[in-house]
Amino acid sequence: MKKIKIVPVIGFLVLLFASCSQDKNTSTKLVSKIVETNAGGKTVTTAFSYKGDHLVSTNSELIRVDYTYDDSLISQIKKTDKKTNKITVFKYTYVKGKLSLVESSDRLIVRYKHNSDGTIAYEGFHLEDQKEKRLYAGVLTVKTSNVLTDKKNFVVDENGGKSTTSISYDYDQAKNPWNAIAGFTNLLDHTSIISANNGIMMVVENSTLFADESVTSSAKMYRCTMKYDDDNYLIEQIFEDAPDGRGYVKATYFY
């Protein structure tokens, strides 16, 4: 029997672990660029453009991302892949300042429900012939402004196969460089960057139950090391084994 491996979509690397506390001063810094270096020495630079504390765009040789705001909330994100020229647009809807709906031009929909116990439930759908096909459902657990766990159940096939992905995070006590940017703490579809601090470890556990009742499972731990400036802002991350499969990556932050 062929085994199916479920790989959770984590997103691009600099959003993964950069997610105040113990501040040495009250000044706020905004990231001006991030330089990523791989094991072979190749670098990719992402430049940030702002209007006040509102992010206008990020731009690298690979991708450009443009942001639209409604007051201090991000209402739209447009991603342009420079290699393929594909444009993907994400639209965000809020209720009383909390994210309730994300709709993408790829016909993907995610709905969020903020529970009284502090957890956030969500469901993902694909729109087919004006009908919603459920893809997954999950729950985020948040404590002290950090996402602690993200548990998601997937539909594997039409024969009853199901898969579960559970991600847990550990954090440092330093400032998340994305936290100072208006609207980013509300982007629940960018799980790692909504946290107040920087993720230093992530554990991903996958389990798949097939229709014939056979089971496959796996678990992997990802770590990164950090360096900070005198104001407790992140200036360097080193991944010996990056979660997105790129192996060694060093990310350097400039303000």
CA 6 to chain centre: 17
pLDDT tens digit sequence for 219-252? 999 999 999 999 999 999 998 887 777 889 999 9
The fraction of the chain above a pLDDT of 90, given in percent, is: 76
Q: Residue 97 has which token pair? A: 């300042």
Q: How far from each other are the two terminal CA atoms of the chain, in whole angstroms?
A: 52
Residue spans per domain, the chain: 33-254
> Rounded distance, CA 180 to CA 198, Å?
13
The per-type count for the chain, helices as H runs and strands as E runs, is 1, 16
Q: What is the pLDDT of residue 211?
A: 76
> Rounded distance, CA 58 to CA 48, Å?
5
Q: What is the pLDDT of residue 1?
A: 42
Q: Let me know: does 253 contact 31? Beta carbons within 8 Å.
A: yes
pLDDT tens digit sequence for 110-157? 999 999 998 999 999 999 988 999 999 999 999 999 999 999 999 877
Q: Let me know: does 136 contact 124? Beta carbons within 8 Å.
A: yes
